[in-house]
Amino acid sequence: MHQVADIEVAKNIMDANKRLADKNKKNLEDKGIFCVDFVGAIGSGKTTLVEEIIDNTDYKIGVLAGDVISKFDAGRIEKHDVPVVGLNTGKECHLDAHLVGHGLEDLPLDDIEMVIIENVGNLICPVDFDLGSHLRIVVVSVTEGDDTVEKHPIIFQTSDVVVINKVDLADAVGADADKMVSDAQKLNPNIKIIKSSLKEGIGLDEIIAVIEEAKNIGVENFQSFPPQLLTFCRY
């Protein structure tokens, strides 16, 4: 009996979140704004990637930066002269559509053409919570271990793009980046995969190109392309 009740409560929460996510997406689309959601573990390189995208594109960008208790990431992003709202989740290990909706209210949406959401550092909790974004990119570092992809299947099955970051450190930590590519492809044959080393300047152009492609042609059309056409594996 308790199990049935728990399942019903969970379903109600997911249904409510989906309704709010759809509302967020409609609000963004009504203003012609494209939204990208970055997920990944702490230390994978999400914040650095967001900073690089801001500095190397001409988009008018606003950022929602999720953290459990601090506004450390939001503080870093503020230095790049873009509007940013820090979203603290407290005890929760993920953002949800309700919190994102409030964050969007605090951004100057009339002056923005792209919203970047940096989720809380976690490869498990964000899986079930649609935020209303158009594109989800999961960032994973080789320093997390080359079994990280196969240990967290759902996040890779539900994302559009995977960035395998810090490939310059693969030999030093004994990680096989090609295995991570293969694991991601097995879990999601349609996922677009980019190897990167932001420190070495590898992969950033390809990441930006994938975002631009999805923004310009629409995510549904983007997902219909054979993955090899939008997969860049540079060393």
What's the pLDDT at 223? 58
Could you state, in order of their start, the residue ranges of all structural domains in the chain? 2-233
Averaged over 102-127, what is the pLDDT? 93
Residue matched to tokens 């004994």 = 174
pLDDT over 80 at 18, yes or no: yes
- Cα(208)–Cα(223) distance, integer angstroms: 16
pTM of the model: 0.88
Residue-wise pLDDT for 122-168, tens only, equals 898 888 889 999 999 999 999 999 999 999 999 999 999 999 999 99
Q: What is the DSSP string of 3-26?
A: HHHHHHHHHHHHHHHHHHHHHHHH
CATH class of this structure's domain 2-233: alpha beta
Averaged over 194-205, what is the pLDDT? 93
pLDDT over 60 at 229, yes or no: no
C-alpha 198: how far from chain center: 16
Highest mean pLDDT among 2-6, 7-11, 48-52, 124-128: 48-52
Please give the C-alpha separations between residue 95 and each of 49, 142, 197, in angstroms, as whole numbers.
19, 25, 27
